Chains A and B, each alone.
Chain A
Amino acid sequence: MVEPILEFRHVGVTLTGRDGSVNEVSSDVSFSLAPREFVSIVGPSGAGKTTLLRTAAGLRRPTVGEVLFKGEPLSDVQNGISVVFQEYNKSLFPWLSIFKNVAMGARRLSSAERAAHVRAALDAVALSGFESRYPWELSGGMQQRAALARALVSDPQVLMLDEPFASVDALTRGLLEDVVGDLWERSSFASLLVTHDVGEAVYLSDRVLVLSARPSRILADVSIDLPRPRSQGSTRQLKRFVELEAQVLDLVHRAGRTVAGESADA
């Protein structure tokens, strides 16, 4: 078996509020991500999907258990892990042009290499020609493509996506899914996607992990045996796609129902 690029071992996360309130978000989460693999995490609202992704990115340490990146315990943000957040309008730097925003992702390269890498990354997300524009001059979909270019310009081994398409309209969302899917097919990074959209998870992934309600653990690990390359037009019409989507949706609904009475938070 291939050595995983990222591994969660019995990870539990407990958040402590400023008022001292303690909230156990995840109790015991274990899974691994192989190199070049595309894995999604879905689950009911409040299952701590985003908290888990932040933990995977090294932005937060697990309360119990450990996260391994390339076999080493992850205790901080790492080279080789890039993150794209849902709120592109709060994650792009408004005082920098699109070119300079993307260049922020390539700070480790020499300035000569940097320009070429930034241009290539912008080209890959079809933003050539917008180098000198500012984020707030672009549409939401274009801003999220810029954020994607910034995440990929450093040629990461893992791309983490935290609800990356939740803030754009449905049409843009489909287009962005294909941008990510195509980039993933053409590159060598593994991807960990957190989403509440089951169809999106099934469409993009090799495996879909279903979280239970809070405190979450992994309820199911569903292999997505759909052919690649995939496309919005054909893949989503496949009988197998519809089956898998229904299966995962059913798991999510059941996970949400188990605690319907006790978990009031969104």
Chain B
Amino acid sequence: MVGGVAIAVGVWEVASITNVISSTALASVNATVAAIGAHAGALSSAAGQTLEAWAVGLMVATVAGVLLGTLVGRSRVADALTETLVRMMRPLPSLALIPIAILIAGLGLKMTAGLVAFTSFWPIFINTRYGVDQVESLLIETATTLGMRRVTLVRKVVLPAAAPLIASGFQVAVSLALSVTVAVELVGGTGGIGSYVLAAQQANAVANMYAGIVVGGIVGWMLNTVFAVLFRQLLPWAHRREGSQ
């Protein structure tokens, strides 16, 4: 992993020194690192704003995705009723919804978080629906013979059994939500890393622009790592090697 990062930084440095990409479009590694140091305060407050919108949107998407996914996964009727709707809504590019979101929520956190929620809802919803539907029927029957019904059955057996799939949907949503947050900030100018990068570009502060991009990348990497480690700890049976009995 460290090797991969080193190679990427090397390619970046070579591209910058050899002027393959002009210096008005590409800052050197040194200049970018210096800019991160010089603007640490502004960058961390931008990262904070981005994380806030990301977290609010993702939280809404998770609650809605798991609830609705469970409902639809457990009920053939709900599945049939929503299938067409899901197929129509899912491919909608969230950025195309920015004008509607601005009309509804105005410019700001609510608008960004709403679009993040809309986009990251899908992988969570779809994985939950699939995971809930795929729970081993013997596991359900066992729970039934142990006297579990409806809500208890879902809470104690169906959701834990579907948890590995829900978690992988959530991990997709983590990255997706961050991309959408930054993109909406870039387009809407609502603050955060996206707006920071946009402002730097408009001011011709190329090093600052790259500083923003690098910080965004680091934030994304940290979020992915945190959840990967967390899920490995929480769901050990999902990561065991098959056939180990």
**Chain A interface residues toward B at CB < 8 A:** 54, 57-59, 77, 79, 81-83, 85, 87, 89-91, 93-95, 104-105, 107-108, 134, 136, 139-140, 143, 150
Contact = CB atoms under 8 A, between A and B. Distances in A.
B144 interface: yes
Helix, strand, loop or mixed for chain B's interface?
helix
Contacts of B143: 104
B144 A59 contact: yes
Enumerate the 10 nearest inter-chain pairs by beta-carbon distance, A residue then B residue, closest first: A94-B237, A91-B142, A90-B138, A83-B145, A95-B160, A90-B136, A77-B144, A104-B146, A91-B138, A77-B145
Contacts of A104: 143, 146, 156
A82 B144 CA distance: 10
B245 A140 contact: yes
A90 B140 CA distance: 10
Interface in B120-165: 136, 138-139, 141-148, 156-157, 160-161, 163
Contact of A93 (B139, B141, B236, B245): B139
Contacts of B202: none
Contact of B142 (A58, A81, A85, A94): A85
A81 B245 contact: no
B244 interface: yes
Identify which of A134, A136, A143 gathers the most chain B CB atoms within 10 Å of its CB. Answer: A136
Contacts of A150: 146
Contacts, number: 54
Nearest to B141: A59
A8 B138 CA distance: 24
A58 B139 CA distance: 16
Contact of B237 (A58, A79, A91, A134): A134
Interface in B205-245: 235-237, 240, 244-245
B152 to A, nearest CB: 9
Given A94-B237, A134-B237, A139-B245, A108 B147 contact: yes
A59 B145 CA distance: 8
B102 to A, nearest CB: 43
Nearest to A58: B145
Given A59-B141, A93-B160, A95-B160, 6 more contacts: A57-B145, A58-B145, A77-B144, A90-B136, A104-B143, A134-B237
B146 A90 contact: no
A107 B138 contact: no
Contacts of B139: 90-91, 93
Contacts of A134: 236-237
Nearest to B147: A107
Contacts of B147: 77, 79, 107-108
Contacts of A54: 141
Contacts of A57: 145
10 contacts: A54-B141, A82-B145, A85-B141, A89-B245, A91-B142, A93-B160, A94-B237, A95-B161, A95-B235, A143-B245
Interface string B54-91: 00000000000000000000000000000000000000
Contacts of B237: 94-95, 134, 136
Contacts of B145: 57-59, 77, 81-83
Nearest to B234: A95
Nearest to A54: B141
A58 B142 CA distance: 12
A88 B144 CA distance: 16
Contact of B146 (A58, A94, A107, A140): A107
A105 B157 CA distance: 13
Interface in B83-112: none
A17 to B, nearest CB: 15
